[in-house]
Structure 1
């Protein structure tokens, strides 16, 4: 049986801009890592002599799915039906609540420097997360 390969495709008005932003956020790179996998050959064949893509990013270890930012003419409308959750705390409940908030807020500040915006902060007795927008307004959460 063949293994299922998949990538996450995200509509974008400026694919290169979002690829740069999310590449920095996730530690991904614009070229697939060298390996003997089928998907590596698939993407390397599409580079066409270039060193890297400007609209796709890849896990440097080749274990996580690639992201493709597909150019579309229309702007984002409405709420995302799918979004990324980032966990700089590694979801470690053994960390004191105040320390988890501190780690999340530090990551949020980094993301704002990269071009993201804070939409809102949600705080409860045992949870804390921040809803953000990437440079094109796509929602994602940091907790």
Structure 2
């Protein structure tokens, strides 16, 4: 049986570069150009006018996290995501200590264009449901 060595997470979106740059700020990722190109701009120049700006990608500079790929789609988001990212900043913490760390991360993400949706808190465990710049849900966990 073979094992999977790598995977990427793909986002459907209206503005791939904008959403990619948001997630770079959230996760400390960097924009990576397609193979054979020095930049996404150079890649775009090789595409037809209607295809330009249709894709963008970023990755973890340490090589640990998955690559994120963003592709333009014509339709807007209309329902809740079936899959979402959890931004893990409170691992191992509980109660008020955990909540304080989550709230600090939420406060950092709001000026980047994120939107707070709701706090889920039961006195011990917690997470903050948020949306990225195009309304994709994610959790600060």
TM-score range, shorter chain: 0.7 to 0.9
Q: Report how many aligned residue pairs link the two structures.
A: 128
Runs of 4+ aligned residues of structure 1 deviating over 6 Å after TM superposition are: 51-54
2:81 pairs with 1:92: no
Distance 1:87 1:2 in 2: 25
**Long gaps (5+) in structure 1:** 33-42
Distance 1:120 1:44 in 2: 40
Distance 2:104 2:127 in 1: 12
Question: Structure 1 residue 20: deviation in Å?
Answer: 0.4
Distance 2:6 2:85 in 1: 19
* Counterparts of residues 1-143 of structure 1 (less than 5 Å): 4-31=5-32, 43-45=34-36, 47=37, 49-50=38-39, 55-89=56-90, 91-93=91-93, 97-143=95-141
Distance 1:17 1:101 in 2: 29
Distance 2:135 2:23 in 1: 13
Question: Structure 1 residue 3: deviation in Å?
Answer: 5.6
What secondary structure is seen at the aligned counterpart in 1 of 2:31? coil
Aligned CA RMSD, in angstroms, stands at 2.2
Query: Do the aligned partners of 2:40 and 2:56 also contact (CA within 8 Å) in 1?
Result: no
Which structure has the highest strand share of the two? Answer: 2
TM-score (norm 2): 0.81
TM-score (norm 1): 0.80
